[in-house]
Structure 1
Amino acid sequence: MKSGDAARLMGWDTTRLSRILRGTYRVSADDVRTFCGKLGVDDPAGVEEVARVAEEPIGEGWWAAYASRIGQNYLDFIELEAEAQTLRIQHPVIVPGLLQSPGYVREMITRAPTAVSPAHAEMLVSIRLARQAVLSTATKLHALVPESALHAKFESGPAIMRDQIRKLLDASQMTNVELQLLPLTAHPTYGSIGAITVLSYKHPWANVASVDNALGGNHIDDPQQVSFLEKEFAAIAEIALPVDKSREVLDEYLEGLRK
């Protein structure tokens, strides 16, 4: 249906409809139901979910306090992550952020080659740790962790990695977490395209994929591109160690049996 015809169904002009579709104008739950009815949408559950979200207050998540202090890409990702039902995360080099211990987080942020002030670094540490609260909800996490990350050496001493391995072992016992190690023997092509996060939501919201980079990442909702990254993740998961074997290997590292 042309936008002008759709707008006339609601007695709106096309400018108002355009702004609603772009998210710059709010729309009420009743308007959502009425509009979908006039458009002939036959999906009661989907319509009610969109109507519910239409009534949600804006900017009330814990991340709102940081809105003016971090990049928009990162802020968008935090909100996407907090709302997801399922998270699939793969990083080729480090332990993914949601599974990092406090000491590991601080090492990764305060010793990064890009200079930030101590105050800004502490803020970023606080944000990363706050994001981990998503694991205490019903959100499911499937994480692929490179075994090579367990060989990192820190100037602060070996306690950093011991605590990190304990954190991974604790997470692996959570009912909503599936943790697999990508072994050192894996072919380097697996994971070579960079860090991937695939986020899935309740019906009718589309899956989103995020490819990490130094500027906060790129978020993708194009179905074909998301499907490509889902297949990439699945291929890496296929060659990663099973969950039980991954836990055994982590135990060996904790006991110092692996060098």
Structure 2
Amino acid sequence: MTPSVDPSLNRRKLRIALRKAREEAGLTQREAAEQVEWSLSKLIRVESGSVSISVSDLRALAQVYGITGHAVMAELEEAARGSKGHSWWSSYHDALNPQFAQYLGYETAASRLHTYHPIVVPGHLQTRAYAEALLAPRGLSADQIRRVVDLRMERQSRMFEGTGRLDSVFVLDEAAVRREIGGKEVLAEQLQQLTDFGARSDVTIRVLPFTAGAHYSTFGSFVLLGFTDDKDLLYLEYATGSMTGGEDETLLQQYQRCYQDLTQLALDESESLDMIDRIKQDLGVG
């Protein structure tokens, strides 16, 4: 029986294996597509992990690539059967754009997550009240806000309560933990949640103090995802979302160096949680 894992993980497994096999066979994407009589776009979608692949199509590619091992083929065929269906976020299609949906597939497969946020608490760590208050000025209907917040809450639950948890490090600018999104009570609840998350062994929260001065990423937030079986990936959180990975190695390395600089400038874990607690106490709530 096909393992009960998200289809995106099986598509990703196939993407990595088939891309590697094609490269080892010395074929370009166009050459491989021609040999199996596919359109180039179909092969590109398979190698991007954006679509499922049938067992018969998998076998056709395997023959071209020279994949003959019985155990390897059995594993790939199992992944092909499990690549069909919808990912957990598919039901929120009305609340996310295609770029972010693609990002969620990568995040689900990642082994580590390092991120920096200069303005607000990131969605991974938000309380429901904080998320609702953050979305309120965007001109969305009450139903639209509920859908986006439900997506964030389910993502949070899966990320921190499920199996295969991410090793996560969050660097938050001091502005993000002082900004009164939703008022003092909402912020106090949010800061308490940061403290609770920061006490976990798989979550590190660090604050970049105002005294750190200028640094490379003063203009925006970003996420670095790490994988055990693939290249790291950079996600830049613009208004519409923009993703890059191995196709722009220079930019990826630039942000990796930036993140190293941020961690050197940020307070350590204990100092960060102490600052968050002081800010919460200064709110005078509860």
Q: Normalising by the residue count of structure 2, what TM-score does the alignment of the two structures yield? A: 0.74
- Three-state SS of the structure 2 residue aligned to 1:189 is coil
Q: In the alignment, what sits opposite 2:213?
A: 187
Name the counterpart of 1:126. 150
Moved more, 117-126 or 55-64: 55-64
TM-score, normalised to structure 1's length? Answer: 0.81
Shift of 1:105: 0.7
CA contact (8 A) 2:118 2:220 kept: yes
The equivalent residue for 2:172 is 145
Q: CA deviation at 1:28?
A: 3.7
Which of these residues, 194, 197, 202, is aligned with residue 171 of structure 1?
Answer: 197
In structure 2, the partner of 1:20 is 43
Structure 1's 88 and 161: CA in aligned 2 closer, same or farther, altered over 3 A?
same
Distance 1:242 1:51, change over 3 A: farther
How do residues 77-96 of structure 1 correspond to structure 2 at under 5 angstroms? Answer: 77-96=103-122
The alignment of Structure 1 onto Structure 2 pairs a total of residues equal to 247
1:97 equivalenced with 2:97 (yes/no) = no
CA distance in 2, matches of 1:186, 1:168: 21
In structure 2, stretches of 5+ residues that fail to align are 1-25
Taking a change above 3 Å as real, the CA distance of residues 111 and 55 of structure 1, as seen in their structure-2 partners, is same
Cα RMSD between the aligned structures? Answer: 3.2
Alpha-carbon distance change, 71 to 56 in structure 1, aligned in 2, over 3 angstroms:
same
CA distance in 2, matches of 1:117, 1:257: 30
**How far does residue 50 in structure 1 lie from its aligned partner after superposition?**
6.7
For residue 25 of structure 1, report the CA deviation from its aligned partner: 6.6
Letter of the structure 2 residue corresponding to residue 38 of structure 1: G
Q: Going by fraction, where is helix more abundant, 1 or 2?
A: 2
**Change beyond 3 A, Cα 1:33–1:86:** farther
Match of 1:161 in 2: 187
CA 1:157 to 1:193, structure 2 compared with 1: closer, same or farther past 3 Å? closer
Q: What is residue 87 of structure 2 aligned with on the other side?
A: 61
Report % sequence identity: 20
For the Cα contact (< 8 Å) 2:215–2:262, is it kept in 1? no
1:38 aligned onto 2:61: no
Q: Is the 2:126–2:190 contact (alpha carbons within 8 Å) kept by the matching residues of 1?
A: yes
Find the counterpart in structure 1 of residue 259 from structure 2.
233
- In structure 2, distance between residues paired with 1:196 and 1:189: 14
Runs of 5+ in structure 1 lacking a partner? Answer: none
Deviation at 1:198, TM superposition (A): 0.9
Deviation of 1:68 (Å): 4.7
Asked if 1:213 corresponds to 2:238, the answer is yes
Distance 1:182 1:89 in 2: 12
**Contact map agreement 1:91 1:191 (CA 8 A) in 2:** no
